[in-house]
Chain A
Amino acid sequence: MAEFVEADNAEAIFTRIEHKSSKIESLLKQYKPVEALKTALEGSPPVTKDERCKSANWIVVHRAIMAIKDIDSLFSALDLEYYDVLMKYLYRGLSTGDRPTCDQCLKIHEKLTERAGLGCILRCLADKVNTV
Protein backbone atom coordinates (compact mmCIF):
# COMPACT_ATOMS: atom_id res chain seq x y z
CA MET A 1 0.00 0.00 0.00
CA ALA A 2 2.75 2.42 0.98
CA GLU A 3 4.54 1.71 -2.29
CA PHE A 4 1.40 2.40 -4.25
CA VAL A 5 0.95 5.76 -2.53
CA GLU A 6 4.60 6.61 -3.23
CA ALA A 7 4.16 5.76 -6.93
CA ASP A 8 0.97 7.78 -7.09
CA ASN A 9 2.76 10.67 -5.42
CA ALA A 10 5.62 10.35 -7.91
CA GLU A 11 3.16 10.65 -10.83
CA ALA A 12 1.76 13.86 -9.35
CA ILE A 13 5.27 15.24 -8.89
CA PHE A 14 6.20 14.40 -12.49
CA THR A 15 3.13 16.24 -13.76
CA ARG A 16 4.08 19.26 -11.65
CA ILE A 17 7.67 19.21 -12.92
CA GLU A 18 6.49 18.97 -16.55
CA HIS A 19 4.22 21.92 -15.95
CA LYS A 20 7.14 23.84 -14.40
CA SER A 21 9.33 22.95 -17.36
CA SER A 22 7.00 24.44 -19.96
CA LYS A 23 6.54 27.56 -17.84
CA ILE A 24 10.32 27.97 -17.63
CA GLU A 25 10.71 27.61 -21.40
CA SER A 26 8.23 30.39 -22.01
CA LEU A 27 9.90 32.62 -19.38
CA LEU A 28 13.28 32.03 -21.01
CA LYS A 29 11.81 33.00 -24.39
CA GLN A 30 10.72 36.26 -22.80
CA TYR A 31 14.31 36.81 -21.53
CA LYS A 32 13.33 36.43 -17.88
CA PRO A 33 16.01 34.02 -16.64
CA VAL A 34 15.66 35.02 -12.98
CA GLU A 35 11.92 34.38 -13.03
CA ALA A 36 12.65 31.05 -14.68
CA LEU A 37 15.11 30.09 -11.93
CA LYS A 38 12.61 31.07 -9.23
CA THR A 39 9.97 28.92 -10.90
CA ALA A 40 12.42 26.03 -11.12
CA LEU A 41 13.34 26.29 -7.45
CA GLU A 42 9.77 26.54 -6.23
CA GLY A 43 8.56 23.35 -4.61
CA SER A 44 12.14 22.05 -4.52
CA PRO A 45 13.38 19.65 -3.43
CA PRO A 46 10.33 17.48 -4.16
CA VAL A 47 9.03 15.87 -0.97
CA THR A 48 9.87 12.32 -1.95
CA LYS A 49 12.65 9.78 -1.75
CA ASP A 50 12.10 8.85 -5.41
CA GLU A 51 15.39 9.48 -7.24
CA ARG A 52 13.64 9.78 -10.63
CA CYS A 53 11.60 12.73 -9.35
CA LYS A 54 14.73 14.37 -8.00
CA SER A 55 16.54 13.86 -11.31
CA ALA A 56 13.61 15.25 -13.28
CA ASN A 57 13.55 18.33 -11.07
CA TRP A 58 17.32 18.71 -11.40
CA ILE A 59 17.02 18.77 -15.21
CA VAL A 60 14.56 21.65 -14.92
CA VAL A 61 16.68 23.56 -12.41
CA HIS A 62 19.81 22.91 -14.48
CA ARG A 63 18.14 24.40 -17.54
CA ALA A 64 17.32 27.55 -15.55
CA ILE A 65 20.77 27.79 -13.94
CA MET A 66 22.54 27.54 -17.30
CA ALA A 67 20.37 30.32 -18.72
CA ILE A 68 21.61 32.83 -16.12
CA LYS A 69 23.99 35.31 -17.76
CA ASP A 70 24.24 38.23 -15.37
CA ILE A 71 24.84 36.83 -11.88
CA ASP A 72 24.81 40.21 -10.09
CA SER A 73 21.34 41.01 -11.34
CA LEU A 74 20.27 37.50 -10.38
CA PHE A 75 21.00 38.22 -6.73
CA SER A 76 19.39 41.62 -6.73
CA ALA A 77 16.16 39.87 -7.76
CA LEU A 78 16.42 36.55 -5.93
CA ASP A 79 14.88 36.47 -2.44
CA LEU A 80 16.58 35.07 0.67
CA GLU A 81 14.25 32.09 0.89
CA TYR A 82 15.70 30.59 -2.31
CA TYR A 83 19.34 30.72 -1.16
CA ASP A 84 19.49 27.42 0.73
CA VAL A 85 17.85 25.33 -1.97
CA LEU A 86 19.86 27.01 -4.73
CA MET A 87 23.05 26.10 -2.86
CA LYS A 88 21.97 22.46 -2.80
CA TYR A 89 21.44 22.45 -6.57
CA LEU A 90 24.81 24.16 -7.12
CA TYR A 91 26.49 21.27 -5.29
CA ARG A 92 24.51 18.80 -7.35
CA GLY A 93 25.72 20.65 -10.45
CA LEU A 94 29.33 20.50 -9.25
CA SER A 95 28.98 16.77 -8.58
CA THR A 96 28.14 16.11 -12.26
CA GLY A 97 31.71 16.94 -13.30
CA ASP A 98 30.40 18.42 -16.53
CA ARG A 99 32.71 21.33 -17.49
CA PRO A 100 30.21 24.05 -18.53
CA THR A 101 27.87 23.15 -15.67
CA CYS A 102 30.68 23.29 -13.11
CA ASP A 103 31.91 26.63 -14.50
CA GLN A 104 28.47 28.15 -14.18
CA CYS A 105 27.83 26.64 -10.73
CA LEU A 106 31.18 27.86 -9.38
CA LYS A 107 30.48 31.38 -10.62
CA ILE A 108 27.10 31.46 -8.90
CA HIS A 109 28.52 29.69 -5.83
CA GLU A 110 31.03 32.49 -5.27
CA LYS A 111 28.36 35.20 -5.34
CA LEU A 112 25.91 33.16 -3.30
CA THR A 113 28.49 32.50 -0.57
CA GLU A 114 29.23 36.21 -0.40
CA ARG A 115 25.56 36.89 0.19
CA ALA A 116 24.34 33.92 2.19
CA GLY A 117 27.50 33.19 4.17
CA LEU A 118 29.12 29.95 5.23
CA GLY A 119 25.98 29.02 7.15
CA CYS A 120 24.24 28.41 3.83
CA ILE A 121 26.94 25.91 2.80
CA LEU A 122 26.74 24.23 6.20
CA ARG A 123 22.97 23.81 5.91
CA CYS A 124 23.42 22.30 2.47
CA LEU A 125 26.13 19.85 3.58
CA ALA A 126 24.44 18.92 6.86
CA ASP A 127 21.00 18.18 5.47
CA LYS A 128 20.72 14.47 4.77
CA VAL A 129 16.93 14.49 4.77
CA ASN A 130 15.86 16.99 2.14
CA THR A 131 18.35 16.12 -0.55
CA VAL A 132 17.91 17.43 -4.07
Chain B
Amino acid sequence: MASVSVHQFAPCITCHAWSPDQSMIAFCPNNNEVHIYKMLEGKWEKIHVLHKHDQLVSGIDWSRRTDQIVTVSHDRNSYVWSLEASEWVPTLVILRLNRAALCVQWSPKENKFAVGSGAKTVCICYYEQENNWWVSKIIRKRHDSSVTSIAWHPNNILLATTSTDGKCRVFSTFIKGVDTKHSSSGSDSKFGEQIMQLDLSHSWTFGIRWSPSGNTLSYAGHDSMIYFVDDIGPSPSAQSLAFRDLPLRDVLFLSERMVIGVGYDCNPMVFAADERGLWSFLRFLDERKQTSNAKYGSQLSGTFGKLYGQSKSGSNEANESSRIRAHDNCITSVVPLKKTRDATVTTFTTAGLDGKVVTWDLQKQQDLMAYLQG
Protein backbone atom coordinates (compact mmCIF):
# COMPACT_ATOMS: atom_id res chain seq x y z
CA MET B 1 0.00 0.00 0.00
CA ALA B 2 1.15 3.48 -0.75
CA SER B 3 -0.41 4.94 2.40
CA VAL B 4 1.91 4.59 5.39
CA SER B 5 -0.27 6.04 8.12
CA VAL B 6 -3.88 7.01 8.61
CA HIS B 7 -5.05 9.01 11.59
CA GLN B 8 -8.53 10.21 12.36
CA PHE B 9 -8.09 13.67 13.90
CA ALA B 10 -11.61 15.07 13.66
CA PRO B 11 -14.98 14.43 12.01
CA CYS B 12 -13.93 16.74 9.16
CA ILE B 13 -10.81 18.70 8.25
CA THR B 14 -11.00 21.86 6.15
CA CYS B 15 -7.26 22.48 5.84
CA HIS B 16 -3.98 21.34 7.36
CA ALA B 17 -0.30 22.27 7.49
CA TRP B 18 2.89 20.79 8.95
CA SER B 19 5.51 22.40 11.18
CA PRO B 20 8.95 22.96 9.60
CA ASP B 21 10.41 19.83 11.22
CA GLN B 22 7.17 17.93 10.51
CA SER B 23 6.73 16.88 14.11
CA MET B 24 3.53 18.88 14.50
CA ILE B 25 0.38 19.27 12.45
CA ALA B 26 -2.02 22.22 12.49
CA PHE B 27 -5.51 21.72 11.14
CA CYS B 28 -9.01 23.14 11.35
CA PRO B 29 -11.63 20.62 12.52
CA ASN B 30 -14.39 22.31 10.50
CA ASN B 31 -14.99 25.12 13.01
CA ASN B 32 -13.42 28.42 14.09
CA GLU B 33 -10.43 26.80 15.83
CA VAL B 34 -7.03 25.58 14.75
CA HIS B 35 -5.71 22.53 16.60
CA ILE B 36 -2.04 21.71 16.81
CA TYR B 37 -1.08 18.10 17.49
CA LYS B 38 2.33 16.67 18.23
CA MET B 39 3.50 13.08 18.11
CA LEU B 40 4.47 12.23 21.72
CA GLU B 41 5.59 8.69 22.55
CA GLY B 42 3.97 7.30 19.44
CA LYS B 43 0.65 9.01 20.06
CA TRP B 44 -0.83 12.21 18.66
CA GLU B 45 -1.44 14.68 21.51
CA LYS B 46 -3.28 17.97 21.22
CA ILE B 47 -0.82 20.61 22.48
CA HIS B 48 -2.35 23.92 21.37
CA VAL B 49 -5.70 25.32 20.30
CA LEU B 50 -5.55 28.59 18.36
CA HIS B 51 -8.79 30.32 19.19
CA LYS B 52 -9.23 33.78 17.70
CA HIS B 53 -11.29 33.47 14.53
CA ASP B 54 -15.07 33.84 14.70
CA GLN B 55 -15.94 31.62 11.77
CA LEU B 56 -14.70 28.59 9.86
CA VAL B 57 -10.96 28.59 9.26
CA SER B 58 -10.50 28.02 5.53
CA GLY B 59 -6.72 28.14 5.15
CA ILE B 60 -3.56 27.44 7.16
CA ASP B 61 0.08 27.71 6.14
CA TRP B 62 3.12 27.17 8.36
CA SER B 63 6.30 28.94 7.27
CA ARG B 64 9.44 26.82 7.17
CA ARG B 65 12.07 29.42 8.01
CA THR B 66 10.33 31.81 10.38
CA ASP B 67 8.12 29.20 12.10
CA GLN B 68 5.01 31.37 11.83
CA ILE B 69 1.50 30.14 11.14
CA VAL B 70 -0.86 32.17 8.99
CA THR B 71 -4.58 31.41 9.12
CA VAL B 72 -7.50 32.84 7.16
CA SER B 73 -11.17 32.42 7.85
CA HIS B 74 -14.67 33.06 6.61
CA ASP B 75 -14.77 35.90 9.18
CA ARG B 76 -12.74 37.89 6.57
CA ASN B 77 -9.68 38.19 8.81
CA SER B 78 -6.24 36.71 8.87
CA TYR B 79 -3.88 36.11 11.79
CA VAL B 80 -0.15 35.52 11.82
CA TRP B 81 0.75 33.39 14.85
CA SER B 82 4.22 33.38 16.42
CA LEU B 83 5.41 31.12 19.18
CA GLU B 84 6.50 33.22 22.17
CA ALA B 85 7.61 31.22 25.20
CA SER B 86 5.11 28.36 24.91
CA GLU B 87 2.16 30.36 23.65
CA TRP B 88 1.06 31.08 20.09
CA VAL B 89 0.49 34.83 19.92
CA PRO B 90 -1.76 36.13 17.12
CA THR B 91 -1.22 39.32 15.13
CA LEU B 92 -4.27 40.53 13.28
CA VAL B 93 -3.82 41.21 9.56
CA ILE B 94 -6.60 43.43 8.27
CA LEU B 95 -7.33 42.15 4.79
CA ARG B 96 -10.01 44.76 3.98
CA LEU B 97 -12.33 42.13 2.51
CA ASN B 98 -16.12 42.17 2.39
CA ARG B 99 -16.40 38.43 1.76
CA ALA B 100 -14.83 35.29 3.21
CA ALA B 101 -11.13 34.54 2.83
CA LEU B 102 -10.78 31.12 1.19
CA CYS B 103 -7.12 30.16 0.92
CA VAL B 104 -3.69 31.32 2.06
CA GLN B 105 -0.08 30.59 1.21
CA TRP B 106 3.33 31.94 2.27
CA SER B 107 5.55 33.05 -0.58
CA PRO B 108 8.73 30.97 -1.10
CA LYS B 109 10.87 33.61 0.66
CA GLU B 110 8.22 33.93 3.35
CA ASN B 111 8.31 37.74 3.32
CA LYS B 112 4.79 37.86 1.86
CA PHE B 113 1.66 35.78 1.90
CA ALA B 114 -1.29 35.69 -0.47
CA VAL B 115 -4.97 35.27 0.37
CA GLY B 116 -7.67 34.28 -2.11
CA SER B 117 -11.15 35.48 -1.26
CA GLY B 118 -14.82 35.32 -2.09
CA ALA B 119 -14.70 39.05 -2.83
CA LYS B 120 -13.18 38.30 -6.27
CA THR B 121 -9.85 39.59 -5.04
CA VAL B 122 -6.41 38.42 -4.00
CA CYS B 123 -4.63 40.08 -1.07
CA ILE B 124 -0.85 40.19 -0.94
CA CYS B 125 0.27 40.82 2.64
CA TYR B 126 3.72 41.89 3.79
CA TYR B 127 5.28 43.08 7.03
CA GLU B 128 6.13 46.75 7.45
CA GLN B 129 9.03 46.98 9.87
CA GLU B 130 8.61 50.72 10.58
CA ASN B 131 5.01 50.41 11.66
CA ASN B 132 5.28 46.92 13.16
CA TRP B 133 2.22 46.00 11.10
CA TRP B 134 1.10 43.61 8.37
CA VAL B 135 -0.11 45.45 5.28
CA SER B 136 -2.50 44.02 2.71
CA LYS B 137 -2.35 45.11 -0.94
CA ILE B 138 -5.29 43.97 -3.01
CA ILE B 139 -5.43 42.83 -6.63
CA ARG B 140 -8.89 44.04 -7.65
CA LYS B 141 -11.12 43.84 -10.68
CA ARG B 142 -9.27 40.93 -12.24
CA HIS B 143 -11.38 37.98 -11.15
CA ASP B 144 -15.05 37.61 -12.05
CA SER B 145 -15.74 35.27 -9.17
CA SER B 146 -14.35 33.74 -5.95
CA VAL B 147 -10.66 32.87 -5.90
CA THR B 148 -10.52 29.21 -4.89
CA SER B 149 -6.80 28.53 -4.89
CA ILE B 150 -3.47 30.34 -5.16
CA ALA B 151 0.11 29.22 -5.84
CA TRP B 152 3.43 31.05 -5.62
CA HIS B 153 6.04 30.69 -8.35
CA PRO B 154 9.50 29.82 -6.91
CA ASN B 155 10.71 33.30 -7.95
CA ASN B 156 8.61 34.87 -5.16
CA ILE B 157 6.96 37.29 -7.64
CA LEU B 158 4.47 35.45 -9.80
CA LEU B 159 1.22 34.24 -8.29
CA ALA B 160 -1.19 31.87 -10.05
CA THR B 161 -4.88 31.76 -9.16
CA THR B 162 -7.93 29.65 -9.98
CA SER B 163 -11.46 30.88 -9.49
CA THR B 164 -15.08 29.91 -9.90
CA ASP B 165 -15.30 31.87 -13.15
CA GLY B 166 -13.42 28.92 -14.67
CA LYS B 167 -10.25 30.83 -15.44
CA CYS B 168 -6.63 30.49 -14.44
CA ARG B 169 -4.60 33.66 -14.10
CA VAL B 170 -1.02 34.60 -13.31
CA PHE B 171 -0.14 37.95 -11.70
CA SER B 172 2.94 39.84 -10.73
CA THR B 173 3.06 40.66 -7.02
CA PHE B 174 6.16 42.85 -7.12
CA ILE B 175 6.17 45.14 -4.08
CA LYS B 176 8.69 47.97 -3.88
CA GLY B 177 10.83 47.75 -0.79
CA VAL B 178 9.97 44.09 -0.24
CA ASP B 179 11.17 42.54 -3.49
CA THR B 180 14.39 43.38 -5.26
CA LYS B 181 14.26 44.14 -8.98
CA HIS B 182 16.53 41.39 -10.27
CA SER B 183 14.56 38.64 -8.57
CA SER B 184 11.60 39.14 -10.89
CA SER B 185 12.94 36.80 -13.61
CA GLY B 186 13.65 39.40 -16.27
CA SER B 187 10.22 40.99 -16.30
CA ASP B 188 9.70 44.37 -14.67
CA SER B 189 6.02 43.88 -14.06
CA LYS B 190 4.20 46.19 -11.72
CA PHE B 191 2.11 44.97 -8.79
CA GLY B 192 -1.16 43.43 -9.92
CA GLU B 193 -0.22 43.21 -13.58
CA GLN B 194 -1.81 40.20 -15.24
CA ILE B 195 0.78 38.04 -17.00
CA MET B 196 -1.58 35.43 -18.36
CA GLN B 197 -5.22 34.40 -18.39
CA LEU B 198 -6.42 30.99 -19.51
CA ASP B 199 -10.05 30.19 -20.24
CA LEU B 200 -9.85 26.43 -20.67
CA SER B 201 -12.45 25.20 -18.24
CA HIS B 202 -16.20 25.48 -18.71
CA SER B 203 -16.67 25.06 -15.00
CA TRP B 204 -15.17 26.09 -11.66
CA THR B 205 -11.44 25.66 -11.27
CA PHE B 206 -9.62 24.47 -8.15
CA GLY B 207 -6.27 23.52 -6.75
CA ILE B 208 -3.48 25.24 -8.67
CA ARG B 209 0.22 24.38 -8.24
CA TRP B 210 3.54 25.13 -9.96
CA SER B 211 6.05 22.43 -10.77
CA PRO B 212 9.26 22.56 -8.64
CA SER B 213 11.11 24.53 -11.35
CA GLY B 214 8.17 26.86 -11.95
CA ASN B 215 8.02 25.92 -15.64
CA THR B 216 4.69 24.12 -15.54
CA LEU B 217 1.36 24.96 -13.94
CA SER B 218 -1.35 22.47 -13.17
CA TYR B 219 -4.93 22.98 -12.02
CA ALA B 220 -8.21 21.09 -11.94
CA GLY B 221 -11.62 21.84 -13.38
CA HIS B 222 -14.86 20.83 -11.74
CA ASP B 223 -15.84 19.06 -14.98
CA SER B 224 -13.41 16.16 -14.37
CA MET B 225 -10.58 17.82 -16.23
CA ILE B 226 -6.99 18.56 -15.29
CA TYR B 227 -4.90 21.17 -17.08
CA PHE B 228 -1.15 21.43 -17.58
CA VAL B 229 0.29 24.72 -18.78
CA ASP B 230 3.81 25.29 -20.12
CA ASP B 231 5.53 28.46 -21.36
CA ILE B 232 3.82 30.76 -18.89
CA GLY B 233 3.67 34.17 -20.53
CA PRO B 234 2.14 35.79 -23.58
CA SER B 235 1.88 32.54 -25.58
CA PRO B 236 1.34 29.64 -23.18
CA SER B 237 0.87 26.07 -24.34
CA ALA B 238 -1.72 24.05 -22.50
CA GLN B 239 -2.84 20.46 -22.32
CA SER B 240 -6.38 19.63 -21.20
CA LEU B 241 -6.85 16.12 -19.94
CA ALA B 242 -10.28 14.60 -19.35
CA PHE B 243 -10.49 11.63 -17.03
CA ARG B 244 -13.22 9.10 -16.38
CA ASP B 245 -13.77 9.67 -12.68
CA LEU B 246 -15.08 12.33 -10.33
CA PRO B 247 -13.48 15.81 -10.31
CA LEU B 248 -10.39 16.88 -8.40
CA ARG B 249 -10.14 19.47 -5.65
CA ASP B 250 -6.38 19.84 -5.30
CA VAL B 251 -3.20 18.89 -7.14
CA LEU B 252 0.47 18.53 -6.19
CA PHE B 253 3.60 18.26 -8.31
CA LEU B 254 5.91 15.54 -7.00
CA SER B 255 8.46 16.18 -9.74
CA GLU B 256 8.54 17.91 -13.11
CA ARG B 257 6.89 14.86 -14.62
CA MET B 258 4.46 13.65 -11.99
CA VAL B 259 1.33 15.16 -10.45
CA ILE B 260 -0.97 13.85 -7.73
CA GLY B 261 -4.62 14.85 -7.98
CA VAL B 262 -7.05 14.46 -5.08
CA GLY B 263 -10.78 15.00 -4.95
CA TYR B 264 -14.22 13.49 -4.95
CA ASP B 265 -13.03 9.99 -5.79
CA CYS B 266 -11.54 9.67 -2.28
CA ASN B 267 -8.45 8.16 -3.86
CA PRO B 268 -5.40 10.11 -5.10
CA MET B 269 -4.83 9.91 -8.84
CA VAL B 270 -1.38 9.83 -10.41
CA PHE B 271 -0.78 11.80 -13.61
CA ALA B 272 2.54 11.60 -15.43
CA ALA B 273 4.21 13.11 -18.47
CA ASP B 274 6.05 10.92 -20.99
CA GLU B 275 9.35 11.81 -22.71
CA ARG B 276 7.58 14.12 -25.14
CA GLY B 277 5.86 15.96 -22.30
CA LEU B 278 2.40 14.52 -22.95
CA TRP B 279 0.42 14.10 -19.74
CA SER B 280 -1.85 11.16 -19.04
CA PHE B 281 -3.66 9.46 -16.17
CA LEU B 282 -1.47 6.68 -14.82
CA ARG B 283 -3.42 5.01 -12.02
CA PHE B 284 -5.05 5.41 -8.65
CA LEU B 285 -2.59 5.48 -5.78
CA ASP B 286 -4.65 3.54 -3.27
CA GLU B 287 -5.36 0.47 -5.30
CA ARG B 288 -4.54 -3.16 -5.31
CA LYS B 289 -4.22 -4.64 -8.79
CA GLN B 290 -7.67 -3.59 -9.89
CA THR B 291 -8.61 -2.05 -13.19
CA SER B 292 -10.68 1.08 -13.03
CA ASN B 293 -13.34 -0.69 -15.09
CA ALA B 294 -13.82 -3.39 -12.48
CA LYS B 295 -13.85 -0.81 -9.71
CA TYR B 296 -16.43 1.24 -11.49
CA GLY B 297 -18.63 -1.77 -12.10
CA SER B 298 -18.69 -2.72 -8.45
CA GLN B 299 -19.50 0.84 -7.39
CA LEU B 300 -22.38 1.05 -9.80
CA SER B 301 -23.92 -2.26 -8.83
CA GLY B 302 -23.39 -1.31 -5.18
CA THR B 303 -25.42 1.84 -5.63
CA PHE B 304 -28.16 0.08 -7.51
CA GLY B 305 -28.10 -2.63 -4.87
CA LYS B 306 -28.75 -0.06 -2.17
CA LEU B 307 -31.48 1.56 -4.20
CA TYR B 308 -33.42 -1.54 -5.05
CA GLY B 309 -32.38 -3.88 -2.25
CA GLN B 310 -31.07 -6.31 -4.84
CA SER B 311 -27.71 -7.48 -6.09
CA LYS B 312 -26.35 -8.33 -2.64
CA SER B 313 -22.97 -9.51 -3.84
CA GLY B 314 -22.47 -6.20 -5.59
CA SER B 315 -23.04 -4.12 -2.49
CA ASN B 316 -20.77 -6.31 -0.38
CA GLU B 317 -18.04 -5.87 -2.91
CA ALA B 318 -18.47 -2.11 -2.80
CA ASN B 319 -18.32 -2.08 1.01
CA GLU B 320 -15.17 -4.11 0.95
CA SER B 321 -13.47 -1.82 -1.52
CA SER B 322 -14.35 1.22 0.58
CA ARG B 323 -12.96 -0.41 3.69
CA ILE B 324 -9.53 -0.99 2.19
CA ARG B 325 -9.33 2.62 1.05
CA ALA B 326 -7.49 5.16 3.17
CA HIS B 327 -10.07 7.92 2.68
CA ASP B 328 -13.81 7.47 2.64
CA ASN B 329 -14.92 10.95 1.71
CA CYS B 330 -13.86 13.75 -0.58
CA ILE B 331 -10.18 14.71 -0.22
CA THR B 332 -9.89 18.49 -0.21
CA SER B 333 -6.18 19.13 0.22
CA VAL B 334 -2.79 17.62 -0.43
CA VAL B 335 0.36 18.93 1.27
CA PRO B 336 3.98 17.93 0.55
CA LEU B 337 6.08 16.49 3.36
CA LYS B 338 9.72 15.62 2.80
CA LYS B 339 11.62 17.01 -0.14
CA THR B 340 14.71 15.34 -1.53
CA ARG B 341 17.78 17.26 -2.65
CA ASP B 342 16.45 17.89 -6.17
CA ALA B 343 13.11 19.29 -4.93
CA THR B 344 11.12 16.15 -5.77
CA VAL B 345 8.54 15.09 -3.21
CA THR B 346 8.11 11.46 -2.23
CA THR B 347 5.98 11.85 0.91
CA PHE B 348 2.84 13.90 1.21
CA THR B 349 -0.34 14.03 3.27
CA THR B 350 -3.97 14.32 2.26
CA ALA B 351 -6.96 15.41 4.31
CA GLY B 352 -10.60 15.89 3.62
CA LEU B 353 -14.20 15.67 4.67
CA ASP B 354 -13.72 12.36 6.48
CA GLY B 355 -11.40 14.02 9.02
CA LYS B 356 -8.50 11.70 8.37
CA VAL B 357 -4.95 12.73 7.62
CA VAL B 358 -3.26 10.14 5.45
CA THR B 359 0.48 10.04 4.85
CA TRP B 360 1.59 8.60 1.52
CA ASP B 361 5.07 7.40 0.65
CA LEU B 362 6.05 6.61 -2.91
CA GLN B 363 9.47 5.14 -2.12
CA LYS B 364 8.16 1.59 -2.52
CA GLN B 365 6.04 2.27 -5.59
CA GLN B 366 8.44 0.87 -8.17
CA ASP B 367 6.36 1.78 -11.21
CA LEU B 368 6.27 5.46 -10.22
CA MET B 369 9.93 5.98 -9.34
CA ALA B 370 10.94 6.55 -12.96
CA TYR B 371 8.77 9.67 -13.08
CA LEU B 372 10.23 11.01 -9.85
CA GLN B 373 13.79 11.04 -11.12
CA GLY B 374 14.31 13.20 -14.12
Contact = CB atoms under 8 A, between A and B. Distances in A.
B157 interface: no
Given A119-B224, A122-B224, A123-B223, A84 B203 contact: no
Interface stretch (A11-19, A52-60, A110-118): A110-118
B297 A114 contact: yes
A119 B245 contact: yes
Interface string B79-115: 0000000000000000000000000000000000000
B296 A126 contact: no
Contacts of B225: 123
Interface residues on A, range: 10 to 19
A3 interface: no
Nearest to A130: B202
Interface string B251-269: 0000000000000000000
Interface string B214-246: 000000011111000000000000000011111
Contacts of B204: 126
- B interface majority secondary structure: loop
A128 interface: yes
Interface residues of B, number: 19
Interface in B289-303: 292-293, 296-297, 300
Contacts of A129: 202
Given A117-B243, A128-B202, A122 B297 contact: no
Nearest to A129: B202
Given A122-B223, A122-B224, A127 B202 contact: yes
Contact of B224 (A113, A123, A130): A123
A94 interface: no
Contact of A126 (B222, B292, B300): B222
Given A123-B225, A126-B202, A126-B222, A118 B246 contact: yes
Contact of A117 (B202, B223, B244): B244
A119 B203 contact: no
